[in-house]
Amino acid sequence: MVDPKDVAEALCEVGRRVWQRGFVASNDGNFSFRLSEDRVLCTPTLISKGFMKPEDMVIVDLDGNHVAGSRKGTSEVRIHLFIYRNRPDVHSVVHVHPPHATAFTVAKRDLPKCVLQEVDLFIGEIPMAPYETTGTWEFARTIAPWVHHHDCFLLTNHGAVAIGQDPFDAYYKMETLDQYCRILLLAGQLGDWQTINMKGIEELLKLKQRLGIADKRSVDCGPCSPGVVPGGPEVVFPPYVPHPGPIEDSPKLPPRLQYRTNSGKQNAPPKERRADDPEVRAVIEEVVRRMLGRA
């Protein structure tokens, strides 16, 4: 079972890394981890993410109600909760304002596809959600058209969100995203970026299939219909069709995925648990005790 203390420490470590890389200024950014079906451990508001301690963390339910922790939670947690409600496979969310990625959102310039292998392989398409005032449910819902099929989102005139199986998985996607945007900006100074050729794209999509990484292009459409010019400036895909199902259903969670600790070792995947499971309840109570400093 995931140790909440490990998770709290992982969120602190992600905080140190995003601060060191300049992905946040002042008290910007927030990260979270889903502890159980209705409990989410998240970073508090009004604190530099580079200097957090495990006991600073807050626990909220999936409606955003404060459950435990002496600090105040962040209103931006709503976009995390919206993701958890719609993606049972996701256990962690990282939201920051990385300068290179945020520059694309300020310029309202969509990110190209099929330019760098690692981006297409491990992230896939990165959509840009429309602008909304931060912290509202309307803000959270701006990613609705893409939430079921994408792992990184740009937020217009704001920043970026990455999701994953644990805090480091989400954080590494954010690193890749900002690195990608930085390279695109540098390539722009050299003229412009060029896409991978047709054969390379087809091989990447096949590799993704072999690795078991979903990519809507290998399901919904071919890699090149229509508009790919091998080595040409841009690959044009058919327009994205939003997920037809209900957006805010909270489906039954699958068994928790393996959680990778900071040391790299993996905990065995525990059996499926519900919030009313006595063991889950014990974990929540333990976290509450620690949050309140009674441990």
CB-nearer residue toward Zn ion: 159 or 223: 159
Q: How far is the CB of 135 from Zn ion (least distance, A)?
A: 9
Closer residue to Zn ion (CB): 73 or 159: 159
Token couple for 46: 């009004």
Which three-class secondary structure state does DSSP give residue 66? strand
Q: Which CB, 97 or 273, lies closer to Zn ion?
A: 97
In the complex, minimum distance from the CB of residue 97 to Zn ion, in angstroms, rounded to a whole number: 6
Residue 22 contacts residue 99 (beta carbons within 8 Å): yes
Which is it for the CA torsion 9, 10, 15, 20, positive or negative?
A: positive
CA distance 29 to 24: 6
If the CB atoms of residues 159 and 164 are measured against Zn ion, the closer one turns out to be 159
Residue number closest to Zn ion, CB atom: 159
Instruction: Please state the closest distance from residue 178 (CB atom) to Zn ion, in A.
Output: 14
| Burial category of 156 from C-beta neighbours within 10 Å (exposed 0-12, middle 13-18, buried 19 and up) | middle
Shortest spacing between CB 185 and Zn ion, in angstroms: 21
Phi, psi dihedrals of residue 266, rounded to the nearest 5°? -110, 140
Looking at the Cβ atoms of 94 and 114, the one nearer to Zn ion is: 94
CB of 171 to Zn ion, least distance (A): 16
With H, G, I as helix, E, B as strand and everything else as coil, classify residue 7: helix
Return the residues of window 67-106 that contact Zn ion according to CB under 5 A.
none
Considering the complex, state which of residue 138 and residue 276 has its C-beta at the smaller distance from Zn ion: 138
Least distance in angstroms from the C-beta of 95 to Zn ion: 6
User: Would you say 44 or 159 has its CB closer to Zn ion?
Assistant: 159
The span from the CA of 212 to the CA of 10, in Å, is 26
Report the site for Zn ion in 113-172 (rule: CB under 5 A): 159
Number of chain residues interacting with Zn ion (CB under 5 A): 1
- Percent helix, strand, coil in the chain, to 5, is 35, 15, 50
- Closest distance between Zn ion and the C-beta of residue 76, in Å? 6
- Name the E strands within the chain: 30-36, 39-42, 58-60, 66-68, 92-96, 128-129, 152-155, 159-164
Residues that bind Zn ion (CB under 5 A): 159
